[in-house]
Amino acid sequence: MSKGIALHWRLIPRRYNLIGTECKNCGEKFFPPRKLCPNCRRTGDIEEVKFSGNGEIYSYTIVHSPPKGFEYMKPYIIGVIKLDEGPLLTAQIVDSKPEDIEIGKRVEMVFRKVIADGSSGIIRYAYKFRPVD
C-alpha cells in the first residue's frame, strides 16, 4: 500500500464515500484505489467501486503519544480494518474505549472533522471507524 496515495485520499472529503477500485477481470478490490491490478496487469479491467464502510477490526494499536496538535485525542486507537469487500485499511477507531476494542469486532465508517492545524484554521475530514453492536 502506498502511503502517499492513502494520505492524499484521506484529505479529500470526496462525496463522503469510501471509493476504491475493483478489477473486473479477477474480482479483487483495492483501497486505496489502484489503477493497475497486480494480478492481471495489462489484462485487468479497473473500475471505481464504492465500499460499504462495514468491516471488522483486524488489528489495532493504542497510541499514547499522539503527534503534535493531536494531544487532546490521547490515548487514541489506530486500527487496521478489514472491509467486508476484502481490502485492509488503517484508520482511527472512535467512540470507544481502548479496553472495549478487540480483534474481530464489527465496525462501520464515519466521516469526522479533523482540525489539522489550529493556527491556520484548516479543517479536514477523515474517515474513521466506530464499533457497531
Q: Is 39 in the site for Zn ion (CB under 5 A)?
A: yes
Q: How far is the CB of 53 from Zn ion (least distance, A)?
A: 23
Assess contact for 67 and 103: CB atoms under 8 A: no
Q: Is 37 in the site for Zn ion (CB under 5 A)?
A: yes
Q: How far is the CB of 34 from Zn ion (least distance, A)?
A: 10
Q: Given the rule CB under 5 A, which of 9-17, 41-49, 62-70, 73-81 is the region that contacts Zn ion?
A: 41-49
- The 3-state DSSP class for residue 50 equals strand
Of 109, 91, 86, nearest in space to 21 by CA: 86
Please report, as a single letter, which amino acid is at residue 109: M
Q: Is 23 in the site for Zn ion (CB under 5 A)?
A: yes
Q: Is 25 in the site for Zn ion (CB under 5 A)?
A: yes
And the C-alpha cell for 2? Answer: 502506498
CB atoms inside a 10 Å sphere around CB 78: 15
Q: Is 40 in the site for Zn ion (CB under 5 A)?
A: yes
- Could you list the residues that contact Zn ion (CB under 5 A)? 23, 25-26, 37, 39-40, 44
